[in-house]
Amino acid sequence: MARTDAVALLSVNAAKGREFDIVVIAGCVEGALPRTAWPQGLFEAWRLDGDRDPVSHARAIIDAERRRFVLAASRARDRVSFTSAKIDGRGEPSRYLAAFRPASATGAGIAPGTAPGTDTSADLGRADPDAAPLGPLEAAGALRRVATDQARPAAERLAAVATLAAMPATTAATNPATWWWRRDWTEDPDPIATDRRLRTSYSRIGTYEDCHLRYFYSSVAGLDDRTSYQMAFGKLMHTVFELAAKGEIAEDPTTLKAAYRARFDLAWFPSRVVAQQYWRDGMAMLALWHDGEAELAKRALAFEVPFEMEVGDHVIRGRIDRVDRVPGGDGEDHGIALLDYKTARIPASDEDARRSLQLAIYYLAALRDPELAALGIPVEMQLVYPARAAQGRFARARQRPGGDHAAEVERRLLPLLDGAAAEQFDPNPHADCHFCAFKPICPMWPQGEDFLAPVIPPAGLDQAGLDAERAE
């Protein structure tokens, strides 16, 4: 069954016999549409086809190209756009575009009488979209734009809504029940945190610290279901390191590589090139492990240690990649180090590590979780970067607890936990938005600024009125 949420990328010839709501014909330039240069054989075989002279032969080619152009343009049920662009400053729009007149009097697209070659932007789709809709889908879109434009007169907006209501509700575009912009936020009587007691993970509350709204979208609304190839690759490397450190596989390079090869999956990666890069990175990490890190890993006391602790009225859970003992100068154990592996190539600075909420939570967990507390006193938390060597081992960035570190961490955590439990989900103007997937629905960004706008239906018209009108 054909997918409705996808585009089809076709040559003109392959589009024959097919139809689409919207068609974009890319590259409408002289030389491509129509093609003006053809591969010629040693002999001019076309001369065998009757007694055509070169001029009539060229004319026949141009006619055939025009038919190709018309074939492409006629595949659209609703809208067709043509694009043409100069390459290295050269190129002219296709001569066939001059046959089209703009869809509106605004002059967008190819103006009447415009000679080919004077307009390099031949996108009729950029004409005023409300001026002359070509089909029901476009008409519905144009009417919805009028209805939601608060700058327009109320009578115009009301007329647009009434017209929409009169249109057959055969598509989502004409069915008001599917228009998100007509809906206000719903009040959920059930609080997210029962009795204001939040149960969350260290990574989620870290997101909340950066941006409350991002936490809401990803953790509360459950919109962030991405699993990245970086995560899959990171897990693979942890597994191989852990097996080697526990002695479950031999330390020699051949065995390490065999364990790595057996678990590496090309299907995780977006392309073969990316997979090859990661494959090489993994091999370099194994070499580094073998040459220096394996010796250090002999201090490991535990791997993948889960924890759960109370902070105020709330509960934070998580998992620590590795716990090492830290020997003192006298050879006796001085305490424990809590390690978190990172797949990033650029290590965090010591200052970033010192401020890391994740490492701070590890520290508190090592004091409060019974299983972790039994391993020793935490004296150091480390972010470990297998992709970067430092002194022949994996690079590290560290956080070391001061005298009142536990109290400081708790002071930092409590307002965050209380805020998330109280459902305070404002976006943060100072958040690190660079990798945020929610920009299209975030009011801090132009593409999402309408998302949380108040909904003001045209005067005298509400959903019940619309429904009643449609039923008549």
Q: Closest CB to ligand SF4 among 411 and 439? A: 439
Name the minimum Å distance from CB 432 to ligand SF4: 7
- Is residue 220 close enough to count as binding ligand SF4 by CB under 6 A? no
- Is residue 431 close enough to count as binding ligand SF4 by CB under 6 A? yes
- Is residue 59 close enough to count as binding ligand SF4 by CB under 6 A? no
Pattern of binders to ligand SF4 over 382-421, x per CB under 6 A?
A: ----------------------------------------
User: What is the rounded CA–CA span in Å between residue 437 and residue 452?
Assistant: 17
- Is residue 79 close enough to count as binding ligand SF4 by CB under 6 A? no
Q: Cα separations (Å) of 260 from 184, 203, 240, 387, 414?
A: 52, 27, 7, 15, 42
Contact 29, 84 (CB under 8 A): yes
Judged by CB under 6 A, the residue of 124, 397, 436, 466 near ligand SF4 is 436
In 391-454, beta strands by DSSP E = 393-399
Q: Closest CB to ligand SF4 among 10 and 433? A: 433
Q: Closest CB to ligand SF4 among 113 and 429? A: 429
| Run of H or E including 415 | helix 405-421
Bridge partners (DSSP) listed for residue 31: 35
Q: Closest CB to ligand SF4 among 247 and 429? A: 429
Burial 392-402 (b: 16+ CB within 10 A, else e): ebbbbbbbbbe
Name the minimum Å distance from CB 449 to ligand SF4: 11
- Is residue 427 close enough to count as binding ligand SF4 by CB under 6 A? yes
CA angle centred on 436, ends 218 and 441, rounded to 5°: 70
Sign of CA dihedral 135, 137, 142, 147: positive
User: What is the rounded CA–CA span in Å between residue 342 and residue 346?
Assistant: 10
Q: Closest CB to ligand SF4 among 345 and 439? A: 439
**Which span (62-70, 110-118, 145-153, 441-449) binds ligand SF4, by CB under 6 A?**
441-449
Q: Is 247 left (phi over 0), alpha (psi -120 to 50) or beta?
A: left
**Which span (72-80, 196-204, 355-363, 430-438) binds ligand SF4, by CB under 6 A?**
430-438
**Which span (153-161, 305-313, 413-421, 435-443) binds ligand SF4, by CB under 6 A?**
435-443
Sign of CA dihedral 114, 119, 124, 126: negative
Q: Give the up-direction half-sphere exposure of residue 64: CA atoms within 13 A in the CB hemisphere.
A: 9
**Which span (54-62, 196-204, 365-373, 432-440) binds ligand SF4, by CB under 6 A?**
432-440
- How many residues are there in the chain? 472
| Three-state SS annotation for 238-264 | HHHHHHHHCCCCCCCHHHHHHHHHHHC
- Is residue 428 close enough to count as binding ligand SF4 by CB under 6 A? yes
Name the minimum Å distance from CB 91 to ligand SF4: 39
Judged by CB under 6 A, the residue of 75, 214, 342, 393 near ligand SF4 is 214
Please compute Rg for the chain using Cα positions. 32
Name the minimum Å distance from CB 228 to ligand SF4: 17
Q: Closest CB to ligand SF4 among 174 and 207? A: 207
Pattern of binders to ligand SF4 over 154-193, x per CB under 6 A?
A: ----------------------------------------
Judged by CB under 6 A, the residue of 80, 236, 288, 442 near ligand SF4 is 442
Size of interface with ligand SF4, in residues (CB under 6 A): 13
Q: Which of residues 307-366 bind ligand SF4 (CB under 6 A)?
A: none
* Surface-to-core class of residue 233, CB atoms within 10 Å of its CB (0-12 exposed, 13-18 middle, 19+ buried): buried
- Is residue 211 close enough to count as binding ligand SF4 by CB under 6 A? yes
Q: Cα separations (Å) of 102 from 98, 105, 113, 125?
A: 10, 7, 11, 10
Name the minimum Å distance from CB 220 to ligand SF4: 12
Q: Cα separations (Å) of 378 from 304, 338, 351, 406, 444?
A: 16, 7, 19, 11, 40
Name the minimum Å distance from CB 452 to ligand SF4: 11
Residue spans of alpha helices (H) in 264-403: 272-288, 294-297, 350-355, 357-368, 370-373
**Which span (183-191, 298-306, 371-379, 439-447) binds ligand SF4, by CB under 6 A?**
439-447
User: Hey, is 31 helix, strand or coil?
Assistant: strand
Binding residues for ligand SF4, rule: CB under 6 A, are: 211, 213-214, 427-428, 431, 433, 436, 438-439, 442, 444-445
